[in-house]
Amino acid sequence: MNEPAVILLSVLREGVDAYKKQIASQARAIVGPEALTVEQHKVLEKTVEAELESFVWFVLGRFDNVGCSLPENVLGYRIIAKPYTRSETGELQRLPESDIREEEQDYADMWQDFLSARDVERAGP
């Protein structure tokens, strides 16, 4: 996976982590922290995380028209990276724009691959 794709998917993953904590915290405030066991607190966060990951997959899937969910006159959308570099004088110089996907891979599939790689990395040897 190319660097712009990894950067975008990492930012989305960070958002999932942040919102997971916020949503779980709000749920705990509603039911009261003592209403849940330690294991239920963990299950709550994992459940929220899974739903947020699914939502990101859903959104990215619209770009590639997964499930033919877009109007008839729209085949899909593209996520374009706009990279830059700094010159020796510190000025920003734009590099060529490019789609973050490689070949014909769907964005939703890239998200799943990104999550799978992260899970393998977490599990370790």
Q: Residue 70 class from Cβ within 10 Å (0-12 exposed, 13-18 middle, 19+ buried)?
A: middle
Q: Token digits for 95?
A: 């590099």
Question: So what's the pLDDT on residue 34?
Answer: 83
| Mean pLDDT across 96-117 | 92
In this predicted structure, the answer to whether residue 18 has a pLDDT above a threshold of 80 is yes
Angle at 105 between CA 17 and CA 100, to 5 degrees: 65
CB 59 within 8 A of CB 40: no
Counted domains in the chain: 1
Q: Domain span at residue 43?
A: 3-123
Q: Exposure of 14 by Cβ count < 10 A (0-12 exposed, 13-18 middle, 19+ buried)?
A: exposed
Q: 10 Å Cβ neighbour count for 52?
A: 19
pLDDT digits (tens, 9 = 90+) for 43-98: 999 999 999 999 999 999 888 877 777 888 888 899 999 999 998 898 999 999 99
pLDDT at residue 124 in the model: 64
pTM: 0.84
* pLDDT exceeds 80 at position 122: no
